[in-house]
């Protein structure tokens, strides 16, 4: 059996956030997925949109899983930056559910804007209303999107929707799209209070004019 025959079809049905991210990516473009995990998003984009994708992942087991899906992946810590890529080398760069665990948030966002015309980020919304109740009760919040206790969490830079929007503005990032989820449901009403996960798409201030 060939390698291609052994690759299982990829579905994003259980990850509406990844499905929305995929909907923002144009066919036959170059995509960089930072912290690509098992490569599911890039494998889906390669199959359905003829995307040329590259992943970056630190975890060795996730790297192996990505390769098995047919996804080219570089094993590297994102904190080291994206210096191996030239300016505007990609059309889109994705950072899914990883922004909040970065030591240098501003640096990775600047690097995303440097290497690609569009950036897409998703992160848990610290403004979700039950988090406030947890803090009022004297405890750090624990939820599906933030399932860790305070002493073992990888999340070091939690933020609200407004926090991220302010940071994006200060960096010159041009926000073009936003979707806020609670579970699998997209929210329109009071997303800052009711949403558990935010997904933003922005345009780089360094992108050449079309």
Q: What is the pLDDT of residues 144-203, one digit of tens each?
A: 787 778 777 777 888 999 999 999 999 999 999 999 999 999 999 999 999 999 999 999
Give which of 75, 39, 43, 42 is closest to 59, Cα–Cα.
75
Distance set, CA 63 to CA 66, 117, 140 (Å): 5, 26, 32
Residues 110 and 192: their CA atoms lie apart, in Å, by 25
Residues 43 and 52: their CA atoms lie apart, in Å, by 10
Q: pTM of the prediction? A: 0.90
Tokens, residue 116: 């690609």
pLDDT band at 137 (very low <50, low <70, confident <90, very high): confident
Contacts of 21 (CB under 8 A, 6+ apart): 41, 94, 96, 120, 122, 199
Residue 5, pLDDT > 70, answer no
Distance set, CA 45 to CA 42, 70, 71 (Å): 5, 12, 10
Longest Cα–Cα distance of the chain, Å, equals: 58
Domains defined for the chain, CATH in brackets? 3-125+158-203 (3.40.50.150)
Q: What is the pLDDT of residues 8-64, one digit of tens each?
A: 567 787 788 999 999 999 999 999 999 999 999 999 999 999 999 999 999 999 999
Specify the DSSP element, H or E, that contains 110: helix 105-115
Residues 198 and 121: their CA atoms lie apart, in Å, by 8
Residues 101 and 2: their CA atoms lie apart, in Å, by 38
Q: Where are the alpha helices (DSSP H) in 117-189?
A: 129-136, 161-170
DSSP reduced 3-state for 108: helix
Please give the span between the terminal C-alpha atoms of the chain, in angstroms, as a whole number: 45
């Amino acid at each position: 059996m060939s390698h291609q025959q052994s690759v299982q079809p990829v579905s994003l049905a259980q990850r509406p956030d990844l499905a929305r991210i995929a909907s923002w990516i144009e066919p036959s473009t170059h995509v960089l997925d930072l912290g690509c995990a098992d490569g599911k998003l890039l494998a889906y984009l390669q199959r359905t949109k003829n995307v040329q994708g590259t992943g970056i992942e630190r975890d060795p087991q996730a790297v192996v899983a990505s390769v098995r899906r047919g996804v080219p992946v570089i094993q590297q810590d994102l904190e080291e930056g994206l210096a191996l890529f030239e300016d505007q080398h990609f059309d889109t760069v994705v950072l899914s559910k990883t922004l909040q665990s970065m030591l240098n948030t501003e640096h990775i966002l600047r690097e995303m804007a440097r290497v690609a015309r569009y950036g897409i980020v998703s992160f848990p919304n610290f403004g979700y209303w039950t988090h406030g109740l947890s803090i009022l009760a004297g405890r750090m919040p624990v939820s599906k999107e933030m399932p860790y206790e305070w002493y073992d969490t990888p999340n070091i830079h939690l933020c609200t929707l407004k926090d991220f929007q302010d940071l994006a503005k200060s960096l010159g990032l041009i926000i073009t799209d936003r979707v806020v989820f609670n579970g699998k449901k997209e929210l329109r009403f009071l997303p800052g209070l009711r949403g558990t996960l935010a997904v933003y798409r922005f345009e780089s201030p360094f992108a050449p004019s079309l």
